[in-house]
Amino acid sequence: MFRTILIFLSLLTIPLRANLGETVQQCVVRYGKPIKYTEADPTKTPFGTITFAAGGYALTVFVINNMEVGARVFKIDKSAFTPSEMQSIMGADTAGSQWTSVPSSDPACLQWDRGDKATVLYDKDKRMLIFTSEAMAQALHSMPDKPEVDSSTNAATTNAATPTPVSTNAVPSPSSTGN
């Protein structure tokens, strides 16, 4: 009984966390009423977003087909995460497989991978954790090429010969969701 109480109390101290694979309803039960949401717009992004705030943290959940496929976690005061905060948030979403630190191609980021191909980046400049599932990466890769503006005619054209690469860790910038 005492052990159960300790586990429950320790869970209460975990800040907002990403739980890849949860439904929108599970997210609302876990985090409460959303403070903002956006619908998916197939011409811009394959997913919608839902933003929650609690305990000094904000969590923007990326949703495809009513399922969380990615998330962005940051402190409302925009301060940096401590290593223990990052480990606590990542530890709450292991999906049966531990996060493993891996070298990042971006010197401004720390990166961890998980056995199910999920990734977490900590962007030191933006001071946020970015969770990406394999489903999110696939959705981003399946997006059609964005039109490029032809400066000689000022007309939008699609460059089919040179597709724009999409990083598996890409998520919309904070300005696209109002953060």
Q: 177 near 36, Cβ under 8 Å?
A: yes
C-alpha Rg value of the chain to the nearest Å: 18
Q: What pTM value is reported for the model?
A: 0.69
3-state secondary structure of 136: helix
Which pLDDT belongs to residue 147? 53
* Domain range annotation of the chain: 2-145+160-177
Residues of the chain with pLDDT under 70: 1-18, 145-179
Q: 61 near 50, Cβ under 8 Å?
A: yes
pLDDT by residue (tens digit) across 65-95?
A: 889 999 999 999 999 999 999 999 998 887 7
Closest CA to 139 of 90, 69, 88: 69
